[in-house]
Amino acid sequence: MSERIELAQNAAGRSVPAMVNGRPQIPFLGVGQYQPRGRKAAPPICSTKDYPENGDKRVANLETALRNCGLRNGMVISNHHHLRDGDRVALMALDAAAKIGVKDLVWFPSASFPSQKAAIELMQSGVIHHIEGSMNGPLGDYCTQGKMRGMGVLRSHGGRWQAIQDGEVHIDVAVIAAPTADAFGNADGSHGKSACGSLGFALADSTYADRVIVVTDNLVPFPCVPWQIQGNNVDFVVEVDSIGDPAKIVSGTTEITRSPDRLRIAEFVARFLRDAGIMRNGFSFQAGAGGIALAFVDFLRRMMKEDGVKARFVRGGSTKFLVELLQEGLTDYILDGQTFDLDGVKSIGSDPRHVATSPFTSYNYHGKGNFASLVDAVVLGATEVDVNFNANVVTHSDGRLLHGIGGWQNCLAAGCTILAVPSFRDRIPVIIDEVTTLTGPGELIDVVATERGIAINPRRQDLLDAVKGSSLPIRPIQDIKAEVERICGGKPARPKLGDRPVAVVKWVDGTVLDTIWQVS
Amino acid sequence: MSSVNTLAIPRPAEAGHWGKEVRSDLHVSIEPRDRGGLEITLESRVGIYYGSSILSQTRQVLESLGVKHARISGHDEGALPFVISARIETAVKRAGLGVDKKVLPEKIARAGPSPRDRLRRSRLYLPGSEPKYFINAALHGPDAIILDLEDSVHHAEKDAARILVRNALHGVDFGSCERMVRINQLPLGLQDLTEVIPEQPDLILIPKVERPEQVSQADRMIDELKSRDRIDRPIWLMPIVESALGIENAFAIATATPNIAALTIGLEDYTADLGVAKTLEGRESRYARTRLVNAAKAAGVQAIDSVFGDVGDLAGLRQWGENSRALGFEGMGCIHPSQIPVIHQAFAPSQIEVDKALKIVAAFEEAQQRGLAVVSLGSKMIDPPVVERARKLVVGAKAMGKA
Quick: pLDDT tens for A59-108: 999 999 999 999 999 999 999 999 999 999 999 999 999 999 999 999 99
Residues in chain A closer than 8 A to B125 (CB atoms):
none
Q: How wide is the angle at C-alpha B163 spanned by C-alphas B161 and B169, nearest 5°?
A: 100
ipTM of this predicted complex? 0.87
pLDDT per position as a tens digit, A494-519:
888 889 999 999 999 999 999 999 98
Low-confidence residues of chain B: pLDDT under 70:
1-8, 403
Size of interface A-B (CB pairs under 8 A): 57
Is the domain defined by B122-347 classed in CATH 3.20.20.60? yes
Evaluate the CA torsion angle B167, B168, B172, B174 in order and state its sign.
negative
Reported for B53-57, long-range contacts at CB under 8 A and 24+ positions apart, including other chains, are: B53/A489, B53/A490, B53/A493, B54/B84, B57/A489, B57/B81, B57/B84, B57/B85
DSSP string, B210-223: -SHHHHHHHHHHHH
Q: Helices (DSSP H) in B121-186: which residue ranges?
A: 158-171
Put simply, whether B336 touches A (Cβ < 8 Å) is: yes
Largest Cα–Cα distance of chain A, in whole Å?
73
To the nearest 10 degrees (0 to 180), the angle between helices B384-399 and B351-369 is 120
Architecture of domain B2-94: 2-Layer Sandwich (3.30)
Residue count (chain A): 520
What is the structure's pLDDT at B396?
81
What separation in angstroms does the CA of A161 have from each of A83, A201, A283, A406, A488? 19, 9, 27, 12, 42
The answer to whether the Cβ–Cβ distance between A489 and B139 falls below 8 Å is no
- Mean predicted confidence (pLDDT) in A198-211: 96
pLDDT band of residue A253 (cuts 50, 70, 90) is: low
Determine which of A89-98, A328-337, A338-347 has the lowest per-residue pLDDT on average: A338-347
pLDDT per position as a tens digit, A344-372:
999 999 999 999 999 999 999 999 999 99
Does the structure show a pLDDT above 90 at A1?
no
pLDDT per position as a tens digit, A464-492:
999 999 999 999 999 999 999 999 999 99
Among residues 252-281 of chain A, which lie with CB inside 8 Å of chain B? 260-261, 263-264
Percentages (nearest 5) of helix, strand, coil residues in chain B: 45, 15, 35
Domain B2-94 matches domain B122-347 at the CATH topology level: no
Establish how many alpha carbons lie within 13 A of residue B73's alpha carbon, considering only the half-sphere containing its beta carbon.
Answer: 4
Residue A320 in contact with residue A254, Cβ under 8 Å?
A: yes
Instruction: Tell me the pTM.
Output: 0.92
Residue A171 in contact with residue A205, Cβ under 8 Å?
A: yes
Question: Which residues, in sequence order, are CB contacts of A25 under 8 Å at separation 6+?
Answer: A16, A17, A18, A19, A504, A511, A512
What is the structure's pLDDT at B281?
86
Delimit the domains of chain B by residue range.
Answer: 2-94, 122-347, 351-399
Using alpha carbons only, how large is chain A's radius of gyration in Å? 23
Instruction: Closest CB to B140: pick one of A264, A490, A492.
Output: A264
Do β-strands A76-79 and A173-178 pair in parallel, antiparallel, or remain unpaired?
Answer: parallel
What is the structure's pLDDT at B4?
43
pLDDT per position as a tens digit, B318-341:
999 999 999 999 999 999 999 999
Cα separation, A114 vs A381, in Å, equals 20
Largest Cα–Cα distance of chain B, in whole Å?
90
**Among B251, B373, B226, B249, which residue's Cα sits nearest to residue B303?**
B251
Determine which of A112-116, A251-255, A461-465, B376-380 has the lowest per-residue pLDDT on average: A251-255
Residue B13 in contact with residue B1, Cβ under 8 Å?
A: no
Residues in chain B closer than 8 A to A260 (CB atoms):
136, 140, 336-338
What is the structure's pLDDT at B8?
62
Where do the domains of chain A lie, and which CATH numbers do they carry?
55-132+169-249 (3.40.1080.10), 260-497 (3.40.1080.10)
φ, ψ dihedrals at B295, nearest 5°: -60, -45
Cα separation, A161 vs A202, in Å, equals 10
Q: How wide is the angle at C-alpha A122 spanned by C-alphas A141 and A149, nearest 5°?
A: 60
What is the structure's pLDDT at B227?
97
**SS3 for A74?**
coil
**Among B328, B319, B223, B218, which residue's Cα sits nearest to residue B265?**
B328
Put simply, whether A396 touches B (Cβ < 8 Å) is: no
Q: How many other C-beta atoms can be found within 10 angstroms of the C-beta atom of residue A41?
A: 16
Cα separation, A100 vs A97, in Å, equals 5
Residues paired with B39 in a beta bridge: B71
Selected residue of A256, A264, A427, A471 to mutate for chain B interface (largest B Cβ count, 10 A): A427
Residue of A nearest to B81 (CA): A489
The answer to whether the Cβ–Cβ distance between B50 and A488 falls below 8 Å is yes
What is the structure's pLDDT at A258?
84
What is the structure's pLDDT at B3?
41
Residue of B nearest to A258 (CA): B338
pLDDT per position as a tens digit, B295-314:
999 999 999 999 999 999 99
**Among B400, B213, A62, B194, which residue's Cα sits nearest to residue B204?**
B194
Instruction: Closest CB to A260: pick one of B23, B46, B337.
Output: B337
Determine which of A231-235, A252-256, B188-192, B374-378 has the lowest per-residue pLDDT on average: A252-256
The answer to whether the Cβ–Cβ distance between B336 and A398 falls below 8 Å is no
Residue A18 in contact with residue A8, Cβ under 8 Å?
A: yes
What is the structure's pLDDT at B7?
53
